[in-house]
Structure 1
Amino acid sequence: MTNAAEFMMLAQTPIWIGFVVFLRVAATTALLPGFGEQSVPLRIKIAVAIAFTLIVAFAIPASPPPFSLEVLVTLVLTETVSGVLLGLGVRLLILALQTAGSIAAQSTSLSQILGGAAIDPVPAIGYVLTVGAVALAVTAGLHVKAGMLIIHSYVLLPIGLFSPGNDVVEWGTAQIAHAFELAFVLAAPFVLISTLYNLTLGVINKAMPQLMVAFVGAPIITLGALFLLFLSAPPMLENWLSFLDHFMANPLGHKP
């Protein structure tokens, strides 16, 4: 009986550490691009969270406090909140890309094409950019960067401690501002082309009022937007990936 009791005590320690790590890992991976998409089945998400837990649990710099009911409640709250904050920081970059696609689509009259192809109602340009960004991130080693991010988060957000409210508000405001700034920067070429297009149509309409410039210009702006997307998508995704890498390396920092 003594040996059995000692064995159970030894087994409880890695199980307890794994459970505590799983709380933060599951909250983070549920919001990661690729791993946390709504199209991914729940069983796959749980399997991904367990796989990350097995990796992170052996690399955290500090062990959780001994098990007790009070400690359990505290850790469920603190670790889940910490994981959600990390996941939201990454998810904001996906939302920035979707916002850039929406701005570009609204500027170039392409907002209705393929609008319902994705689970989230995004225009065609935003859908193409989002799918390309997720594929690029996964190909560039998103799983490795995510694992390093979670391990590093235990230094920035220690186990069992709530982040100060003022710091969370300041960090969240900065991340949202950077996401909107990134969206406008990525969509800037489409906005400029749209502005020049509308100014040109206005001049032509003023010179020849009898000409139906809208029917003449609609195919031009559509073809021009698609050609501009073909040219600008690679640098847009490259810049987006640099923002993602910077956040993964320094989640509490600012834009690169």
Structure 2
Amino acid sequence: MPDLLLSAFVIFCRLGGCLMVMPGYASPRVSMQVRLFIALSASLAVAPLMMANVLPVVSNASTSFLYLIILSELMIGIVIGIFGRAFFAMLQMLMGAAANASSFSMPAALPEDNEQIPPLAGIVTLSATAMLFISGAHLDVFLALAESYAAVPVQGLFMPDAATMQLADRLTRGALLALRITAPFFVFGIIINLALGLTNRLMPQMPVYFVGLPLIVIGGVFVLYLTISEMISLFFNGLGTWLMLE
């Protein structure tokens, strides 16, 4: 019985570490008790499947090695959660840049976090977080965590160099994916600002800023209306590809 409890706790370390930083689950709007209950429930659900691989390692481990296993599993879970957060962070960052290109630069609080970001970035990021649960993709997170034991078994070893390289790869993928999503806003911003600049040169007496700013805002809203469904679809295709690779 002690070995079974220790094995379940080791599994909880990886799942709990991941959910501690995973978008949606790690929101400050979700109480700590609810997050703890989700982590415990997921750990107990996955434990019977992973017990055959975890129990022999925990049973034969010394006390000092058991501490190393717990620390290693906690770090592995946190790194996996950071991989998932990298996609949302890149989307939020580039949507903030797209908001500046569309004159939506007024900061506002994001319900997912306490950070002040432009409303356009908040709308898209919040929609992506909500779709994570509406589409059932949050269940794929638990599936990826269960399958991670095949790629990274419980051995008490955490390799920071490999984790850093994989994090850089996830950040690159997330940035390229977010750049594909936000490209229409950058194209719109370049075209409209170029047109307003030419208008200002041709008619210097015209107040281009006061005339053009409402047009830029209306155009940005129209681009968002046309592309938001494709944006969310492309984002979850990329996120689903990462979950399958994990």
Paired position in structure 2 for 1:90: 84
Residues 23 and 83, structure 1, Cα contact 8 Å, conserved in 2: yes
Report the Cα distance in structure 2 between the residues aligned to 1:246 and 1:225, rounded to whole angstroms: 29
Paired position in structure 1 for 2:47: 57
> Taking every aligned residue pair, what percent have the same amino acid on both sides?
24
Report the Cα distance in structure 2 between the residues aligned to 1:249 and 1:208, rounded to whole angstroms: 56
Distance apart, 1:104 and its partner CA? 1.1
- Tell me if 1:169 matches 2:164: yes
Residues 23 and 80, structure 1, Cα contact 8 Å, conserved in 2: yes
Paired position in structure 2 for 1:116: 109
Residues 69 and 157, structure 2, Cα contact 8 Å, conserved in 1: no
Moved over 4 A (4+): none
Paired position in structure 2 for 1:7: none
Letter in 2 for 1:90: G
- Give 1:150-165 correspondences, 5 Å limit: 150-165=145-160
Higher mean Cα deviation, 161-170 or 211-220? 161-170
**Greater Rg by CA:** 1
Alignment counterpart, residue 107 of structure 1, candidates 101, 108, 119: 101
User: Which consecutive unaligned segments of at least 5 residues does structure 1 have?
Assistant: 1-10, 252-256
Distance apart, 1:218 and its partner CA? 0.4
Q: TM-score, normalising length from structure 2?
A: 0.92
Higher mean Cα deviation, 229-238 or 104-113? 104-113
Report the Cα distance in structure 2 between the residues aligned to 1:34 and 1:106, rounded to whole angstroms: 25
Instruction: For residue 14 of structure 2, give the secondary structure of its aligned residue in structure 1.
Output: helix
Distance apart, 1:117 and its partner CA? 4.6
1:206-235, Cα deviation, whole Å (9 max, x unpaired):
111111111100000001101111111110
Instruction: For residue 21 of structure 2, give the secondary structure of its aligned residue in structure 1.
Output: coil
- Tell me if 1:137 matches 2:132: yes
Distance apart, 1:71 and its partner CA? 2.5
Letter in 1 for 2:53: A
Instruction: For residue 192 of structure 2, give the secondary structure of its aligned residue in structure 1.
Output: helix
- Tell me if 1:189 matches 2:184: yes
Paired position in structure 2 for 1:25: 15
Report the Cα distance in structure 1 between the residues aligned to 2:209 and 2:145, rounded to whole angstroms: 52
Alignment root-mean-square deviation, CA: 1.5
Residues 110 and 222, structure 1, Cα contact 8 Å, conserved in 2: yes
Report the Cα distance in structure 1 between the residues aligned to 2:42 and 2:137, rounded to whole angstroms: 12
Report the Cα distance in structure 2 between the residues aligned to 1:146 and 1:72, rounded to whole angstroms: 26
Instruction: For residue 59 of structure 1, give the secondary structure of its aligned residue in structure 2.
Output: helix
- Tell me if 1:234 matches 2:229: yes
Letter in 1 for 2:85: R
Give the structure with the larger helix fraction.
Answer: 2
1:134-169, Cα deviation, whole Å (9 max, x unpaired):
111112213421121111111111113424343222
